[in-house]
Amino acid sequence: MKVLFNPINREVDAETGEVLLDVMRNAGIRIESLCGGQGICGKCKVILERGNVDKFSNFHEKMLS
């Protein structure tokens, strides 16, 4: 699949099941993640404009709106 990162207008290929933070890091896109990618600080949240999220835990509802 293709993931478009705005506002930098950069498109990156990703495979189903890949962690988005890992996809970004592998593409050289830097994003703040104080917890080291554990998903507990909420600094690396993104906006899903289109598509679906297959995996989503209740824990993350505290960090996301």
Query: How many domains is the chain built from?
Result: 1
Segment 3-15, tens digit of pLDDT: 998 889 999 999 9
The mean pLDDT value for 9-22 works out to 90
Distance CA 14, CA 63 (A): 24
Count Cβ neighbours within 10 Å for each residue of 19-30 and write b for 16 or more, e otherwise: ebbebbeeeeee
What is the pTM for the complete model shown? 0.68
Residue 44: give the domain boundaries: 1-65
Least confident of 6-10, 26-30, 43-47: 43-47
Task: Tell me what percent of the residues of the chain surpass a pLDDT of 70.
Answer: 82
- What mean pLDDT value characterizes the chain? 81
